């Protein structure tokens, strides 16, 4: 027995040394050297197959899992999945050998550890399959986990049972399609019942499940039902986190977007305002794009409610955030440009021609405009310079309009300019 232990230790020492060496080599590899990385780890897999697997199955399973973890850390998911599968094969073979060599009365004690090991590896296989969009493979791995999750391998109250059920819902959600979504709702409801039955409940996990159900109903067009689930999730989260925690963000944002889609503008504005009021001290690195998204929607709502004062405040806040960002994503840049245009519209309506010109020129300089917004920006700034009496700038922007509309119908732009003049250009660009 001592010699076997020494053999296991020697094997693992060798594998660990090989892994350390591979990690050291990987640090010098660039993103295009993934083949070299894969070859290094495949060599370790070969060593395990040839030198360890037949002599020490427990060590071999652990070694395979370590190598698979290394593949996963580099997001080489196919090799990770295949190597986890090798670990599982060894674990299952060892369990079969053990069960045939002991009396039935002792089988439960022998089987518990292999079952636990198989459970962990199966979860990792499912995760790799999800990254590979192999949803059938992920489902199969979770189903095998459920076959394991039964007494005496696990007590029925073990939270890992809930994890498996929840993950099966995630698989169906990712797979998409009406049938899969319907089944996903059933599974998430089952998951929620199990979560609530645990002696040590995780309320935030319950809230996450409720949010997921809300999301499925939203995607299915059942918006009122979706709001009910999101509000239920907020109620549970508030019980744990308080009224102003940043953890309420996603549900409030979802509710606001649904209400905006339903044209319930006052309610949407209230939801978005509550979102902005959350305490973000625990999450100081919140991405600017979320604030921009909300402020863009709030500004558009205020314009539709003819509340220009608050519309201007929303757009000014958005512009301030966008200017502070070193790198703009496409969606942020488009919202930035759109808000500058809308500020120009408001400034013009208030008679502040110079401010309007400055805003619309900055909007053009941002450089990422939908063609319709680009046309409106150019038509507006031409109109503003026409009001100011700067004929040179009028001609310059007319040439830009002509260049933009080469091969198109310019009459729409002229009609837009006339509307600007007639209506004092009092209509902003709508939020996406």
84, 125 contact by CB (below 8 A): yes
Burial class (CB in 10 A: 0-12, 13-18, 19+), 335: buried
Q: Tell me the C-alpha distance between 117 and 209, whole Å.
A: 27
Cis peptide before 168 (omega within 30 of 0): no
pLDDT values of the chain reduced to their tens digit, one per residue, 432 residues: 334 444 566 666 776 777 666 666 655 656 566 777 788 778 878 877 777 777 777 788 888 888 888 889 888 899 999 999 988 988 888 766 665 555 444 444 434 445 668 889 999 999 999 999 999 999 999 999 888 876 555 555 667 788 888 999 999 989 888 888 999 999 999 999 989 988 888 999 999 999 999 999 999 999 999 999 999 999 999 999 998 888 899 999 999 999 999 999 999 999 999 999 887 766 655 567 788 889 999 999 999 999 999 999 999 999 998 888 776 778 888 888 899 999 999 999 999 999 999 999 998 887 655 667 788 888 999 999 999 899 999 999 898 888 877 644 433 433 333 333 333 344 456 665
Task: Give all strands (DSSP E) within 180-294, no chain letters.
Answer: none
Would you state the structure tokens that stand for residue 186, as one six-digit string?
A: 């059933």
Q: Please work out, in degrees rounded to the nearest 5, the angle formed at the alpha carbon of residue 79 by the alpha carbons of 78 and 85.
A: 95
Q: Helices marked H in 287-410 — which ranges?
A: 288-304, 308-324, 330-349, 353-366, 371-388, 391-404
Beta bridge partners of 245: 279
pTM of structure: 0.75
Q: Tell me the C-alpha distance between 321 and 60, whole Å.
A: 54
Determine the 3-state secondary structure of 100 from DSSP. helix
- Residues 6 or more apart whose Cβ sits within 8 Å of residue 370: 334
Which region, left, alpha or beta, applies to residue 177 given φ > 0 means left and ψ of -120 to 50 means alpha?
Answer: left
Which region, left, alpha or beta, applies to residue 425 given φ > 0 means left and ψ of -120 to 50 means alpha?
Answer: left
């Amino acid at each position: 027995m001592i010699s076997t232990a020494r053999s296991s230790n020697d094997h693992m020492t060798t594998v660990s040394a090989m892994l350390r060496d591979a990690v050291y080599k990987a640090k010098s590899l660039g993103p295009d050297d993934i083949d070299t990385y894969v070859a290094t780890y495949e060599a370790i897999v070969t060593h395990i197959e040839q030198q360890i697997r037949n002599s020490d199955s427990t060590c071999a399973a652990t070694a395979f899992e370590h190598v698979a973890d290394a593949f996963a850390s580099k997001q080489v998911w196919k090799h990770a999945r295949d190597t986890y599968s090798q670990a599982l094969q060894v674990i299952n073979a060892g369990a079969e050998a053990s069960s045939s060599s002991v009396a039935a009365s002792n089988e439960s004690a022998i089987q518990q550890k292999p079952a636990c090991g198989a459970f962990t590896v199966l979860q990792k296989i499912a995760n790799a399959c999800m990254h590979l969009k192999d949803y059938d493979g992920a489902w199969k791995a979770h189903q095998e986990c459920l076959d394991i999750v039964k007494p005496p391998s696990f007590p029925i109250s073990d939270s890992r049972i809930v994890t498996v059920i929840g993950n099966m819902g995630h698989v169906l959600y990712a797979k998409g399609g009406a049938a899969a979504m319907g089944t996903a709702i059933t599974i998430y409801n089952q998951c929620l019942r199990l979560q609530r039955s645990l002696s040590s409940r995780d309320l935030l996990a319950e809230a996450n499940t409720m949010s997921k159900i809300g999301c499925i109903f939203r995607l299915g067009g059942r918006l009122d039902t979706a709001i009910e689930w999101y509000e239920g999730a907020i109620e549970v989260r508030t019980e744990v986190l308080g009224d102003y925690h940043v953890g309420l963000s996603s549900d409030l944002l979802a509710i606001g977007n649904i209400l905006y889609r339903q044209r319930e503008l006052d309610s949407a504005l209230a939801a978005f305002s509550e979102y902005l009021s959350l305490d973000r001290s625990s999450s100081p690195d919140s991405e600017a794009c979320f604030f921009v998204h909300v402020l863009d929607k709030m500004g558009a709502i205020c314009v539709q409610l003819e509340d220009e004062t608050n519309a201007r405040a929303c757009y000014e806040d958005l512009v301030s955030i966008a200017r502070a960002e070193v790198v703009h994503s496409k969606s942020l840049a488009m919202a930035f440009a759109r808000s500058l245009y809308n500020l120009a519209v408001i400034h013009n309506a208030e008679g502040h021609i110079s401010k309007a010109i400055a805003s619309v020129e900055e909007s053009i300089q941002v450089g990422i405009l939908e063609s319709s917004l680009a046309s409106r920006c150019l038509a507006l700034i031409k109109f503003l310079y026409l009001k100011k009496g700067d004929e040179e700038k009028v001609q310059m922007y007319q040439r830009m309009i002509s260049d933009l509309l080469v091969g198109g119908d310019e009459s729409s732009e002229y009609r837009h300019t006339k509307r600007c003049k007639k209506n004092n250009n009092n209509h902003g660009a709508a939020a996406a």
